[in-house]
């Protein structure tokens, strides 16, 4: 009885106990008080997001009862309007939107139940399975790829931004000026090239990029790297009779790079712009001048002052970067033939009009973004003295 | 090349004296700083040319891009190359050759005879494969000379009709064409429509969608940011928590849902086009709205706002006449930076078949065709719109980058 009760409401207890713990620690600790505030703000935002997502999905045509009845119709049963109405009442679809939303949210907070998908005729949690984690890993890998390229190149780009093409330093001799001009022009050209390459990722729509790569494979006569595995490895378990299947891992890596590369490249352009703008902003501040006046120079100046200070806003934006990458994923998934939650989302939206499944996936994305924002806020307040000062006020 | 251009730009600038620098307006300063960004200037020229060609597309395109101008004799035809010389000698006036379709002879009699060999021969001869349909013989003896300002289909150059006033300027001259038949610089598609002309027309359709979307976005952001920043307090809290919630939801799935809903309503292509632009714009208020709110929150306590309040200005007048002009440059730059993203959103929708659809000419529609295996293998020239698209987006991004740097008042070197 009691076990039943707790297994039905487990998520609520977890949420409440985290909140309670934070509140208890925050009574005499300013930092935990801030964390507690962020915590309930995040929960409130989630509630609002669930409302927006749930009501937006109402614009999709048709409802669950119609689809269910239409399915029964194909099985040879004759269905009348009264049957549809009865089905609606059974599913609770005759109730108003706030009522249905209330029930959905209650189930969600009590036991993480995302509702029932009518097109799949199973619960959304089951239909998703670990596919959402797959999308999550894709996005994180793509984001990592983007950061690895954007951060060093963005800093480099900011470094050359206000440099002239010609060395006109009057203290330099003729030869020194000539060498300086070559160096400066080289840097400028390199910066331009790097920017062109990274912006190409933005300018080539990612579906086209994926198509082009697949096409190259077709022309080369190689098997296409679509999906996650080749046919021969798809059904082989990871741990075979002779230990871990390394061959399967290689096969997996041979397929996985394509979606990560495609979404990563298109995310690079925006990251590069952000890093560049952040570092340029910081580099024109007075403390950089002060450091320069003290004699700090070259790489030490850049790494120690503007770059170091632009890391925390960059870290702070990880949540929204994730949202932006996930935004691109559905179309890539359609082209490459992935079976992750992004592909499910497209299917639910444009083909089966499955409101609950689409709402569930969108809610999960929002959940990830909000949790990431929460974590980065909390971590930054702990380690970055500037943020700590601004949020804790001491 | 770039160094040369940079030097040119620097020389053209008048001698800057101290006085004029401190009295120059914001726009003059931005202009002066922008002129120093070589990549920005080059991109701005490319962008300007493309937009101009797109806006006056009927004038610049030699062939009518609609089905009326489709060349039935030259379907799936490859680009017609323009030459200055050939074996017969040099010609100052460029020319192209005339193209003839080779109709592969199908021996119906042998087929009717019932011989399987004949059927085999037909299939292996390639007469039925799609790539053989692209085969045209070039008649090198018959030159077709290029002409400037040729007479062609009539079009509306610029429509200034307002109210009852009929100011629709119509013209039937085109920048270039050939004396006999039509010139297909970039080949034709399955219906015989000219790819080059379609692409030129598509540029303006896509840009105008982006403009409509960005104007709607601007209005929505100004409303949310202005109201929330000016009133503050509870209004601010509510509006900002809604924006925060909207910001975390990925937009393309939301556009998709709205596009699916729109496809249920019976709309003409033009209405659909505006509906999509409005949807893309209206849902994108979160980022700009937040920035405007922060800005207004700091500005509203300034003395000039207090002065306006004491003079009896209404709330709306203070927001519109005093607060918003204080960050016009920021708004302009942000709008320009967002152009490529809006264009990409339209393209993604079109790619999924939920945005604009054939026969409308938009870059999204033309890009969508690139996923057809037939086009990838047999009509590679239909990738021309992709090239134009990439150049357009790159030009926008580079101009946006340069403008962002130029508009930042603190970017000046000391």
How far apart are the CA of A52 and the nearest CA of chain B, in angstroms?
8
Report whether pLDDT(B46) > 90.
yes
Q: What is the pLDDT of residue B48?
A: 92
Return the half-sphere exposure (C-beta side, CA atoms, 13 A cut-off) of residue B44.
Answer: 15
B393 and A202 in contact by Cβ < 8 A? yes
| CA-based nearest residue in chain A for residue B265 | A61
Domain regions of chain A by residue span: 2-123, 131-353
B245 and A49 in contact by Cβ < 8 A? yes
How far apart are the CA of A352 and the nearest CA of chain B, in angstroms?
11
CA dist., res. B210 & res. B207, Å (int): 5
Task: Give the confidence band of B58 by pLDDT, cuts at 50, 70, 90.
Answer: confident
CA of residue A191 relative to chain centroid, distance: 28
User: Touching check for A201 and chain B: CB below 8 Å?
Assistant: no
User: Is the Cβ–Cβ distance between B57 and B200 less than 8 Å?
Assistant: yes
Q: Which residues of A touch B370 (CB under 8 A)?
A: 208, 211
Q: Which residues of B touch A196 (CB under 8 A)?
A: 394
CA dist., res. A211 & res. B72, Å (int): 30
How far apart are the CA of A242 and the nearest CA of chain B, in angstroms?
42
User: Which of A57, A277, A350 comes nearest B354 by C-beta?
Assistant: A350
Pick from B174, B139, B206: nearest CA to B396: B206
Q: What is the pLDDT of residue A65?
A: 73
Candidates A327, A332, A368, partner chain B, best to mutate (most B CBs within 10 A):
A327
Q: Which residue has the higher pLDDT, B342 or A82?
A: B342
Pairing of strands B136-159, B83-86: unpaired
Candidates A101, A168, A203, partner chain B, best to mutate (most B CBs within 10 A):
A203
Q: In the 3-class helix/strand/coil scheme, how is B10-25 assigned residue by residue?
A: HHHCCCCCHHHHHHCC
Q: What is the pLDDT of residue B47?
A: 92
Q: What is the pLDDT of residue B107?
A: 60
CA of residue B300 relative to chain centroid, distance: 38
Percent of chain B with pLDDT over 70: 82
User: Which of B245, B352, B404 comes nearest A48 by C-beta?
Assistant: B245
User: Touching check for A200 and chain B: CB below 8 Å?
Assistant: yes
User: Is the Cβ–Cβ distance between A273 and B399 less than 8 Å?
Assistant: no
Which residue(s) pair with A257 in the sheet? none
Which residue(s) pair with B99 in the sheet? B138
DSSP one-letter code for A5 = H
CA dist., res. A324 & res. B284, Å (int): 13
B257 and A346 in contact by Cβ < 8 A? no
CA dist., res. B23 & res. B21, Å (int): 6
Report whether pLDDT(B360) > 50.
yes
- Other CB atoms within a 10 A radius of the CB of residue A235 amount to 7
User: Which of A208, A369, A370 comes nearest B367 by C-beta?
Assistant: A208
A369 and B248 in contact by Cβ < 8 A? yes
How far apart are the CA of B257 and the nearest CA of chain A, in angstroms?
6
Q: What is the pLDDT of residue A265?
A: 86
CA dist., res. B6 & res. A79, Å (int): 75
Task: Give the confidence band of B408 by pLDDT, cuts at 50, 70, 90.
Answer: low
CB interface of A with B, residues 35-74, below 8 Å: 44-45, 48-49, 52-53, 56-57, 59-61
Report whether pLDDT(B12) > 60.
no
Q: What is the pLDDT of residue B49?
A: 92
Q: What is the pLDDT of residue B163?
A: 67
CA dist., res. A162 & res. A196, Å (int): 18
Residue A169 — left, alpha, or beta (φ > 0 → left; ψ -120 to 50 → alpha)?
Answer: beta
| CA-based nearest residue in chain B for residue A189 | B2
Mean pLDDT comparison of B118-122, B153-157, B241-245, highest-scoring range: B241-245
How far apart are the CA of A329 and the nearest CA of chain B, in angstroms?
10
Candidates B40, B257, B370, partner chain A, best to mutate (most A CBs within 10 A):
B257
Per-residue pLDDT tens over the stretch B157-189: 777 767 667 777 777 788 887 777 777 878 787
A366 and B3 in contact by Cβ < 8 A? no
B261 and A328 in contact by Cβ < 8 A? no
Q: Does the global pTM surpass 0.90? A: no
Report whether pLDDT(B15) > 70.
no
Q: What is the pLDDT of residue B57?
A: 83
- 10 Å CB burial of residue B55 (0-12, 13-18, 19+) is middle
Rg (CA), chain B: 28
Candidates B3, B40, B249, partner chain A, best to mutate (most A CBs within 10 A):
B249
Q: Which residues of B touch A319 (CB under 8 A)?
A: 248
CA of residue A46 relative to chain centroid, distance: 16
CA dist., res. A45 & res. A55, Å (int): 15
User: Touching check for A369 and chain B: CB below 8 Å?
Assistant: yes
Q: Which residues of B touch A289 (CB under 8 A)?
A: 414
Cβ contacts below 8 Å, chain A against chain B, sum to: 148
- Tell me the mean pLDDT per 10 residues along chain A, length 394: 82 89 88 89 91 84 73 71 76 78 86 79 82 88 90 86 77 84 88 84 81 80 72 70 74 82 85 84 84 86 84 86 87 82 84 83 91 91 82 68
Report whether pLDDT(B325) > 80.
no
B132-138 mean pLDDT: 69
The angle, 0 to 180 degrees and rounded to 10, between the axes of the packed helices B286-299 and B233-248 is 150
Q: What is the pLDDT of residue A314?
A: 86
Domain A131-353: what homologous superfamily?
Answer: MetI-like (1.10.3720.10)
User: Touching check for A213 and chain B: CB below 8 Å?
Assistant: no
CB interface of A with B, residues 98-157, below 8 Å: none
Mean pLDDT comparison of A232-236, B356-360, B409-413, highest-scoring range: B356-360
Per-residue pLDDT tens over the stretch B187-222: 787 777 888 888 888 898 889 888 999 999 999 988
Q: What DSSP assignment string belongs to A13-61? A: HHHHHHHHHHHHHTTS-HHHHHHHHHHHHHHHHHHHHHHHHHHHGGGSS
User: Touching check for A284 and chain B: CB below 8 Å?
Assistant: yes
Residues B297, B301, B302, CA angle at the centre, nearest 5°?
A: 115
CA dist., res. A363 & res. B40, Å (int): 40
Q: Which residues of B touch A49 (CB under 8 A)?
A: 245, 248-249
Q: Helix H segments across A284-346?
A: 286-293, 298-304, 306-316, 318-336, 341-346
Q: What is the pLDDT of residue B18?
A: 62
Q: Which residues of B touch A38 (CB under 8 A)?
A: none
Candidates A349, A357, A363, partner chain B, best to mutate (most B CBs within 10 A):
A349
Q: What is the pLDDT of residue B10?
A: 47
């Amino acid at each position: 009885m009691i076990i039943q009760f707790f297994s039905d409401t487990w998520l609520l207890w977890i949420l409440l106990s985290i909140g309670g713990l934070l509140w208890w620690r925050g009574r005499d600790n300013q930092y935990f008080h801030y964390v507690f505030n962020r915590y309930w703000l995040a929960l409130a935002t989630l509630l609002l997001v669930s409302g927006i997502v749930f009501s937006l999905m109402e614009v999709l045509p048709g409802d669950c009862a119609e689809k269910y009845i239409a399915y029964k119709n194909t099985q040879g049963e004759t269905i009348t309007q009264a049957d549809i109405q009865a089905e609606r009442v059974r599913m609770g679809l005759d109730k108003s939107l706030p009522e249905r939303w209330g029930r959905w949210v209650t189930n969600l907070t009590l036991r993480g139940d995302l509702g029932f998908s009518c097109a799949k005729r199973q619960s959304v949690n089951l239909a998703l399975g670990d596919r959402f984690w797959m999308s999550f890993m894709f996005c994180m890998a793509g984001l990592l790829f983007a950061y690895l390229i954007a951060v060093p190149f963005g800093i480099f780009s900011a470094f050359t931004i206000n440099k002239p093409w010609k060395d006109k330093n009057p203290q330099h001799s003729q030869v020194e000026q000539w060498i300086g001009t070559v160096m400066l022009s080289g840097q400028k050209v390199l910066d331009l090239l790097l920017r062109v390459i990274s912006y190409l990722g933005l300018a080539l729509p990612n579906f086209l990029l994926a198509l082009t790569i697949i096409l190259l494979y077709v022309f080369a006569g190689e098997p296409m790297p679509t999906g996650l595995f080749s046919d021969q490895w798809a059904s082989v378990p990871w741990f075979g009779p002779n230990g871990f299947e390394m061959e399967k891992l290689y096969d997996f890596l041979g397929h996985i790079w394509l979606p990560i590369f495609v979404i990563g490249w298109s995310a690079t352009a925006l990251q590069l712009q952000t890093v560049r703008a952040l570092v340029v902003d910081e580099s024109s501040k007075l403390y950089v001048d002060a450091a320069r006046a003290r004699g700090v120079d070259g790489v030490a100046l850049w790494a120690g002052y503007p770059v170091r200070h632009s890391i925390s806003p960059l870290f702070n934006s990880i949540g929204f970067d994730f949202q932006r990458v996930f935004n691109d994923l559905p179309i890539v998934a359609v082209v490459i033939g992935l079976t992750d939650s992004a592909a499910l989302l497209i299917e639910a939206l444009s083909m089966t009009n499955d409101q609950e499944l689409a709402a569930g996936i969108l809610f999960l994305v929002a959940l990830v973004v909000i949790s990431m924002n929460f974590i980065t806020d909390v971590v930054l307040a702990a380690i970055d003295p500037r943020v700590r000062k601004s949020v804790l006020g001491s | 090349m770039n160094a040369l251009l940079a030097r040119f730009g620097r020389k053209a600038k008048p001698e800057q004296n101290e006085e004029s620098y401190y009295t120059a307006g914001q726009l003059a300063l931005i202009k002066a700083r922008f002129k120093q960004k070589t990549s920005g200037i080059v991109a701005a020229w490319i962008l300007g040319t493309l937009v101009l060609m797109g806006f006056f597309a009927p004038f610049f395109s030699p062939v009518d891009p609609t089905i009326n101008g489709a060349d039935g004799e030259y379907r799936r035809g490859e680009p017609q190359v323009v030459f200055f010389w050939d074996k017969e000698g040099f010609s100052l006036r460029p020319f192209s050759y005339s193209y003839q379709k080779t109709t592969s002879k199908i021996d119906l009699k042998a087929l009717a005879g019932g011989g399987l060999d004949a059927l085999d021969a037909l299939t292996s001869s390639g007469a039925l494969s799609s790539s053989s349909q692209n085969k045209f013989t070039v008649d090198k003896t018959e030159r077709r000379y290029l002409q400037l300002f040729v007479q062609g289909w009539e079009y509306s150059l610029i429509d200034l009709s307002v109210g009852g006033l009929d100011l629709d300027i119509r013209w039937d001259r085109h920048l270039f064409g050939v004396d006999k038949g039509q010139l297909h610089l970039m080949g034709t598609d399955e219906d015989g429509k000219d790819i080059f002309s379609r692409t030129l027309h598509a540029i303006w359709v896509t840009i105008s969608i982006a403009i409509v979307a960005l104007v709607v976005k601007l209005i929505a952001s100004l409303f949310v940011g202005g109201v929330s920043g000016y009133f503050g307090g509870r209004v601010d809290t509510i509006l900002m928590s809604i924006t925060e919630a909207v910001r975390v939801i990925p937009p393309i799935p939301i556009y998709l849902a709205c596009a699916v809903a729109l496809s249920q309503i019976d709309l003409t292509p033009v209405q659909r086009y505006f509906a999509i632009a409005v949807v893309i714009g209206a849902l994108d208020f979160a980022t700009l709205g937040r920035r405007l709110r922060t800005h207004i929150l700091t500005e509203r306590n300034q003395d000039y706002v207090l002065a306006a309040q004491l003079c009896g200005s209404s709330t709306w007048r203070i927001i519109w006449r005093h607060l918003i002009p204080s960050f016009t440059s920021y708004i302009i730059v942000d709008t320009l930076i967002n152009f490529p993203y809006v264009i990409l959103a339209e393209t993604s929708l079109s790619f999924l078949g939920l945005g604009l659809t054939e026969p409308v000419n938009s870059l999204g529609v033309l890009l969508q065709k690139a996923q057809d295996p037939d086009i990838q293998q047999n009509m590679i020239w239909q990738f021309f719109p992709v090239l134009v698209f990439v150049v357009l987006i790159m030009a926008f991004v580079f101009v946006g980058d340069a403008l962002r740097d130029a508009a930042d008042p603190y970017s000046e070197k000391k």
